[in-house]
Structure 1
Amino acid sequence: MRILVVVGHPLTGSLTHALAAAYAQGARSAGAEVRVHDLAVTPFPHDPASRADLRAPDGDTTHLDPAVAALVDDVRWAEHLVVLHPQWWGTYPAVLKAYLDRVMLSGVTFRYRSGSLPTRLMQGRTARTVMTMDSPGFWNRFAYRDAAGASLGRATLAYCGYRLTGRTTFAKVRFSSPEQRTRWLATTARLGTRDAARRGAARPSAAPVPA
């Protein structure tokens, strides 16, 4: 299993980072090959200079900034994508939105079709999301209308063809105890082990880019 872990937090040392490390360790212990995009320390140009920076005609990324092209290559490589992030202002930090804009490109993860829904180029691949938040669950559902889940899970990952295998939310972080956080880390490590142990669950529809 080839797994890409995306840490969607702009500051190092966060709980999101600890959860990502636990997931990666669990996955590797079960034999998965894991790559990590830590957006707190991964430099890439957040703002596109032109519309061409948001397109990859026929999958061609040679026109992109090399840092962005390398991130795209890892997305193509991965059979399973895991995105971890905190809930900020009802959704997720700007650094994660910039990442999605720059790497989930037309021609790579989906292809437009005239007058119909796009071709979902990530079909056969799977994804999981893990979110931390201070809000109680009922507030996220009724006040925020689960904006993060709709934006990331449905409007982005499912739109590109990923099959969502799980969505985990840890709350309320600000009021959690060290013991509770330890349990969250153990839960996330088990998710990594479980995902890595799946056999034949992910069969990418397109050949991965050579590493």
Structure 2
Amino acid sequence: MKTLVIYTHPNHKSLNYAFLQKTMEGLKENPLVSDIQLLDLYQEDFDPRLVFNEQKRRRDMHLDPDLKKYREQLLWADKIVFIYPIWWGRPPAMLLGYIDRMMAANFAYRKKGSLLPEGLLKNKSAVIVSTMEGPTLYPLLWLNNAHKILMKRALLKYVGFKKVKFFEFGSMEKKNGPQAKRLEQIYSYFKAVSS
């Protein structure tokens, strides 16, 4: 199982970075994981801005030479792990910019004349590890599950992913909160995950 980990947090001393470390630790100990690539969007200095002009046309996004490396990563991976905080009920703008630029027509999906397009990133699964300051049930009860709907239905299922698993960890900024327990949960999950 080839695994791409996409990490989106600007601080390497953050709790999200600790989740990244536990994820990598578990994946490296998993005998079913054949190879791992890490994409740290902030460290990579990924440019999240969409640019459309005479030189860069929207219909040609899937051929943008600046994004070739990232397209190859997505095609290569069997499993994609996203690690990020939930800010204002959604992923960070950096990750949303990555999604805007990468999930282009004729790369991630193809229009076929019917209501829904054909997802081209098939036979892949995703795991989303996200943290938030508020309680775990906040997105469900207050935001009608907007985060999960965005990431699973509006994005990953749309482009062909079959399986999407979420770890939404709330109350992560509380003193004496469940941080250590959640870190161990993530390590154990990735050490044993099979598909």
TM-score normalised by L of structure 1 = 0.82
Residue 9 of structure 2 corresponds to which residue in structure 1?
9
The aligned amino acid for 1:135 is: G
Alpha-carbon shift at residue 11 of structure 1 (Å):
3.0
Residue 77 of structure 2 corresponds to which residue in structure 1?
78
Larger deviation, residues 92-101 vs 158-167 = 158-167
Alpha-carbon shift at residue 72 of structure 1 (Å):
1.6
In 2: Cα distance, 1:10 partner to 1:98 partner:
15
In structure 2, do the counterparts of structure 1 residues 38 and 86 end up closer, same or farther at CA, with 3 Å as the change threshold?
A: same
In 1: Cα distance, 2:91 partner to 2:164 partner:
20
In structure 2, do the counterparts of structure 1 residues 165 and 157 end up closer, same or farther at CA, with 3 Å as the change threshold?
A: closer
Unaligned runs of 5+ in 1: 202-211
CA shift digits 1:75-134 (9 cap, x unpaired): 111000111111100111100101111112222221122243110112211111111011
CA shift digits 1:136-191 (9 cap, x unpaired): 1332212212221111122111111112342111110111427x322211111112
In 2: Cα distance, 1:145 partner to 1:71 partner:
32
Alpha-carbon shift at residue 49 of structure 1 (Å):
1.9
Q: Verify the 8 A CA contact 2:41 2:95 in the aligned structure 1.
A: yes
Which residues in structure 2 correspond to 1:87-102 (within 5 Å)? 87-102=86-101
Following TM superposition, the consecutive aligned residue runs of length 4 or more in structure 1 with deviations greater than 3 angstroms are 51-57
Q: Verify the 8 A CA contact 2:30 2:191 in the aligned structure 1.
A: yes
In structure 2, do the counterparts of structure 1 residues 176 and 82 end up closer, same or farther at CA, with 3 Å as the change threshold?
A: farther
Which residues in structure 2 correspond to 1:123-138 (within 5 Å)? 123-138=122-137
The aligned amino acid for 1:121 is: L
Residue 206 of structure 1 corresponds to which residue in structure 2?
none
Name which of 156, 171, 180 aligns with 1:182. 180
In 2: Cα distance, 1:76 partner to 1:190 partner:
27
Alpha-carbon shift at residue 54 of structure 1 (Å):
5.0
Alignment size in residue pairs: 191
TM-score normalised by L of structure 2 = 0.88
**CA RMSD of the aligned region, Å?**
2.0
Q: Verify the 8 A CA contact 2:139 2:145 in the aligned structure 1.
A: yes
In 1: Cα distance, 2:25 partner to 2:13 partner:
17
In 2: Cα distance, 1:71 partner to 1:50 partner:
19
In structure 2, do the counterparts of structure 1 residues 138 and 185 end up closer, same or farther at CA, with 3 Å as the change threshold?
A: closer
Residue 193 in 1 paired to residue 191 in 2? yes
Q: What secondary structure sits across from 2:23 in the alignment?
A: helix
Q: Verify the 8 A CA contact 2:48 2:96 in the aligned structure 1.
A: no
In structure 2, do the counterparts of structure 1 residues 174 and 37 end up closer, same or farther at CA, with 3 Å as the change threshold?
A: same
Q: Verify the 8 A CA contact 1:10 1:93 in the aligned structure 2.
A: no
Percent of residue pairs identical: 24
In structure 2, do the counterparts of structure 1 residues 144 and 176 end up closer, same or farther at CA, with 3 Å as the change threshold?
A: farther
Unaligned runs of 5+ in 2: none
